Chains A and B, each alone.
Chain A
Amino acid sequence: MQTLTPEVMLEVNNLKMHFPIRKGFRQRVVGHVKAVDDVSFAVRRGETLGLVGESGCGKTTIGRCIMRAYDPTAGAILYCNAKNEQVDLAALKSSDLKPYRRELRMIFQDPYSSLNPRMTVLDIVGEPLKVHGVARGAELEDRVANLLKRVGLRPEYMRRYPHAFSGGQRQRIGIARALALDPRIVVADEAVSALDVSVQAQILNLLEDLQAELNLTYLFISHDLSVVEYVADRVAVMYVGKIVELAETTALFAQPKHPYTEALLSAVPKPDPTMRSKRIVLEGDVADPANPPRGCYFHPRCRYAEDRCKTETPALRAVGQVGNLSHFAACHRAEELNLRGVVS
């Protein structure tokens, strides 16, 4: 097992998650959906790594593999725990995962289905504390009250049920639950996507404050590029199960190196009528992850595609450097193309 450099907290190496497609009476496997197909990246201590892509690109699956909600098909998830020991989360048995369930936590997208409607806020936020034998009785109530205060809810509400709260407040409860065990990494899967525009900003600010206060590392998964640009230090762009570009946020948004990132950026409607730009409208649909095209998965929709893009699969490689951070892109023509970013 390779050792992690000190600034890296989590490293994903060649991660694959293939879901079998079953058909017929005997449920025979007739193929695989390659939801995550050979993905490698590192999450640095204290940073927010944004993971963007369209639906079905595998970003949520990566989050769930790291949380070991799924058992990855192949690959390693190297994690450096609080005692500075290195483990491969992908190789652990489910029974050995319990200590890591305290250090890696998740915030869910849907503030409605992620809270059990039959449990009080005290039970929901207190559940991880009870399961790990951290606190009980009056001490549990104290700790839950503190957590609620920390996420901006009144502790008096802990005996209420989730239906008493609005979407934004429910998301705060979900955040309190994620923080209950003093985690080190928080995977936020579309944490603000289901919220109203005016409430999104409240939750984004809260997440930012908590990160500074508790020294958290975030993996922020979202389809919303403007939100990711706002919260993330570095951004990884995914297309059909692969990372196509990974770079420091400003660099990626100002000078994208992959044609897909360029198209994605130009497609986002900007809330300023004076910036009505010419959109790059991609032809066709996203490739089918069960049956992706040969070569670069993006080539059928790419306006810069050459012959070799149809046959050779490009590797994710460093194509530039900003400070001490490399700019990675998986495009044969990354260096020669001069792609349009968003003007600031």
Chain B
Amino acid sequence: MNTEKETPVYVAPQWKLVWWKFRKHKLALVSGIVILLIYLVALFVEILAPFLPDQTNSKYLYAPPQSLHFVDEQGNWGLYVYGYTSKIDPVALRRTFEIDSSVKIPVGLLVEGVPYKLFNLIPGNRHLLAPLDPDQPMYLLGADRLGRDVLSRLIVGTRVSMSIGLVGVLLSLVLGILLGGLSGYYGGNIDNLIQRVIEFLRSIPSIPLWMGLSAALPLDWDPLRVYFAITVILSLIGWTGLARVVRGRFLSLREEDFVMAARLDGASEMRIILGHMLPAFTSHIIAAITLAIPGMILSETALSFLGLGLREPVVSWGVLLQNAQDIRSIATAPWLLIPALAVVVSVLALNFLGDGLRDAADPYAR
């Protein structure tokens, strides 16, 4: 039509404006990258984990972390870790380990190892970082009481812990949008009823409720079923917050002049809700979801830590922390607390990301 170049900001749709605004929030941006990395880890667990999570080794119970070296004393390049020398403490009768810098265990990238099926589909046996000789020890984050590699277990646990948050939030999103939407759209008695139910659910102390519900799960269920049961339990409580966000946005949007204008255009209710109102709160919902995931992750961790959620042989961060329950094991093997660090990092990052998204969600605010 014309050759004049349009000013980008004038023709920028909503998502672009959100992105421009989000980009200015540096902490949220960094957190977003961290979250992306964590989910990538969760996706490619099989390649990233050096060993199988349940691979025990009775020779290296509570072996301390080794560090990865790139250059040896002679100045030669090469990836390796030092081996261990172990001796039995004559008094405590406990095996203690010391790093033995005379033994070099060569480590390689994309080493052939235990075969696996990526996404249960693609067969493979290469691991990103593993000792060249699979029988040699490599415990970058130490070993637990059965001599299992904490790093491998942490990586495998990422998948369960991070996905339980996501799946749980998606479930509560369905409930939240449905009930919050009904509440905001119809108002009156329906709204009153739903709001009272929400208040009731929020008033129940959550830990005892989870305990009750998960105690009701049959013990003979397989881990996968327990996993889904737990997400359902978490989302049964979690939907209330989202429902309130949806209802609030719904109520405020209904009063907007542009919604009235659409009604006077003769648009049907469906068209108004889907075409005019929904785009106005998708970004808010995404922000609310991001802020809801950490709660789910923390709940799962807490439940599993208490032994009420997931159980071995499923590996999640909460299950891993169960090993760090008694003082003695923490004293001898503080590296068992590393999964807690993973929880803290991911929860913080998700919160920062959610904050950034929430601030950017309405780029039109004046």
Which A residues lie at the B interface, using CB under 8 A?
Answer: 27, 67, 69, 97-98, 101-102, 105-106, 108-110, 112-120, 127-128, 131-132, 155-157, 159-161, 163-164, 174, 177
- Asked, given contacts A116-B276, A116-B280, whether A161 binds B11 with beta carbons under 8 Å apart, the answer is yes
The distance from the CB of A303 to the nearest CB of chain B, in whole angstroms, is: 39
- Asked, given contacts A113-B256, A159-B11, whether A102 binds B276 with beta carbons under 8 Å apart, the answer is no
Ranked nearest first, the 6 interchain pairs of A and B with the lowest CB-CB distance are: A164-B10, A114-B257, A101-B266, A117-B364, A128-B265, A116-B258
How many angstroms between the C-alpha atoms of A155 and B257 in the bound complex? 24
Residues of A within 8 A of B59 (CB): none
Does A156 lie within 8 Å of B2, measured CB to CB?
yes
The distance from the CB of B272 to the nearest CB of chain A, in whole angstroms, is: 10
Residues of B within 8 A of A161 (CB): 10-13
User: 1/0 per position for B162-203, CB-CB distance to A under 8 A?
Assistant: 000000000000000000000000001000100000000000
Does A115 lie within 8 Å of B271, measured CB to CB?
no
How many angstroms between the C-alpha atoms of A81 and B10 in the bound complex? 40
4 further A-B contacts with Cβ under 8 Å, apart from A67-B264, A131-B266, A155-B1, are A69-B263, A102-B266, A120-B11, A159-B6
Does A69 lie within 8 Å of B266, measured CB to CB?
no
- Asked, given contacts A98-B266, A161-B11, whether A112 binds B366 with beta carbons under 8 Å apart, the answer is yes
- Asked, given contacts A156-B1, A159-B6, whether A131 binds B258 with beta carbons under 8 Å apart, the answer is no
Residue of B12, B261, B268, B366 touching A108 (CB-CB under 8 A): B261
B58 within 8 A of A: no
Residue of A101, A159, A160 touching B265 (CB-CB under 8 A): A101
The distance from the CB of A25 to the nearest CB of chain B, in whole angstroms, is: 8
User: 1/0 per position for B198-217, CB-CB distance to A under 8 A?
Assistant: 00000000000000000000
Residues of B within 8 A of A156 (CB): 1-2, 4
B273 within 8 A of A: no
Residues of B within 8 A of A98 (CB): 266
How many angstroms between the C-alpha atoms of A113 and B280 in the bound complex? 13
* Interface class of chain A by DSSP: loop
Contacts of B309-366 to chain A: CB distance below 8 A? 364, 366
Residues of A within 8 A of B188 (CB): 27
- Asked, given contacts A117-B364, A161-B12, whether A106 binds B280 with beta carbons under 8 Å apart, the answer is no
Residues of B within 8 A of A27 (CB): 188, 192
B260 within 8 A of A: yes
Query: Number of contacting residues on B, CB 8 A?
Result: 32
User: 1/0 per position for B254-286, CB-CB distance to A under 8 A?
Assistant: 001110111111111001000010011000000
- Asked, given contacts A160-B11, A163-B364, whether A108 binds B6 with beta carbons under 8 Å apart, the answer is no
Residues of A within 8 A of B17 (CB): 163
Does A113 lie within 8 Å of B264, measured CB to CB?
no
Residue of B7, B266, B276 touching A164 (CB-CB under 8 A): B7
How many angstroms between the C-alpha atoms of A110 and B266 in the bound complex? 20
B9 within 8 A of A: yes
B56 within 8 A of A: no
Q: Which of chain B's residues has its CB closest to A104's CB?
A: B264
- Asked, given contacts A116-B276, A118-B14, whether A131 binds B7 with beta carbons under 8 Å apart, the answer is no
The distance from the CB of A70 to the nearest CB of chain B, in whole angstroms, is: 10
The distance from the CB of B273 to the nearest CB of chain A, in whole angstroms, is: 13
Contacts of B1-43 to chain A: CB distance below 8 A? 1-2, 4, 6-7, 9-14, 17
How many angstroms between the C-alpha atoms of A250 and B255 in the bound complex? 37
Q: Which of chain B's residues has its CB closest to A67's CB?
A: B264
- Asked, given contacts A108-B261, A112-B366, whether A127 binds B10 with beta carbons under 8 Å apart, the answer is no
Does B1 lie within 8 Å of A69, measured CB to CB?
no
How many angstroms between the C-alpha atoms of A98 and B266 in the bound complex? 6
Residues of B within 8 A of A155 (CB): 1
Does A160 lie within 8 Å of B266, measured CB to CB?
no
Which one of B258, B262, B263, B267 has the greatest number of beta carbons of chain A within 10 Å? B258
Does B10 lie within 8 Å of A177, measured CB to CB?
no
The distance from the CB of B212 to the nearest CB of chain A, in whole angstroms, is: 30
The distance from the CB of A72 to the nearest CB of chain B, in whole angstroms, is: 16
Does B264 lie within 8 Å of A101, measured CB to CB?
yes
How many angstroms between the C-alpha atoms of A118 and B188 in the bound complex? 29
Does A127 lie within 8 Å of B262, measured CB to CB?
yes
Q: Which of chain A's residues has its CB closest to B261's CB?
A: A114
How many angstroms between the C-alpha atoms of A132 and B192 in the bound complex? 36
**CB<8 Å pairs between A and B, sample of 19:** A27-B188, A97-B266, A98-B266, A101-B264, A101-B266, A105-B264, A108-B261, A115-B261, A117-B14, A117-B364, A118-B13, A118-B280, A127-B267, A131-B271, A155-B1, A156-B2, A159-B6, A163-B364, A177-B261
Which one of A67, A112, A116, A164 has the greatest number of beta carbons of chain B within 10 Å? A116
Does A113 lie within 8 Å of B258, measured CB to CB?
yes
Residues of A within 8 A of B268 (CB): 131
Does B258 lie within 8 Å of A160, measured CB to CB?
no
Does A118 lie within 8 Å of B279, measured CB to CB?
yes
Q: Which of chain B's residues has its CB closest to A189's CB?
A: B257
Does B276 lie within 8 Å of A69, measured CB to CB?
no
Does A164 lie within 8 Å of B9, measured CB to CB?
yes
Residues of A within 8 A of B263 (CB): 69
Q: Which of chain B's residues has its CB closest to A115's CB?
A: B258
Residue of B264, B276, B279 touching A106 (CB-CB under 8 A): B264
Q: Which of chain A's residues has its CB closest to B268's CB?
A: A131
Residues of A within 8 A of B261 (CB): 106, 108, 114-116, 174, 177
The distance from the CB of B10 to the nearest CB of chain A, in whole angstroms, is: 3
Which one of B7, B12, B266 has the greatest number of beta carbons of chain A within 10 Å? B266
How many angstroms between the C-alpha atoms of A131 and B263 in the bound complex? 10
Residues of B within 8 A of A128 (CB): 265-266
User: 1/0 per position for B66-106, CB-CB distance to A under 8 A?
Assistant: 00000000000000000000000000000000000000000
Q: Which of chain A's residues has its CB closest to B187's CB?
A: A27
Residues of A within 8 A of B256 (CB): 113
How many angstroms between the C-alpha atoms of A116 and B253 in the bound complex? 10
Does B10 lie within 8 Å of A69, measured CB to CB?
no
How many angstroms between the C-alpha atoms of A164 and B1 in the bound complex? 19
Residues of A within 8 A of B279 (CB): 118
How many angstroms between the C-alpha atoms of A161 and B13 in the bound complex? 7
Residues of A within 8 A of B264 (CB): 67, 69, 101, 105-106
Does B1 lie within 8 Å of A127, measured CB to CB?
no
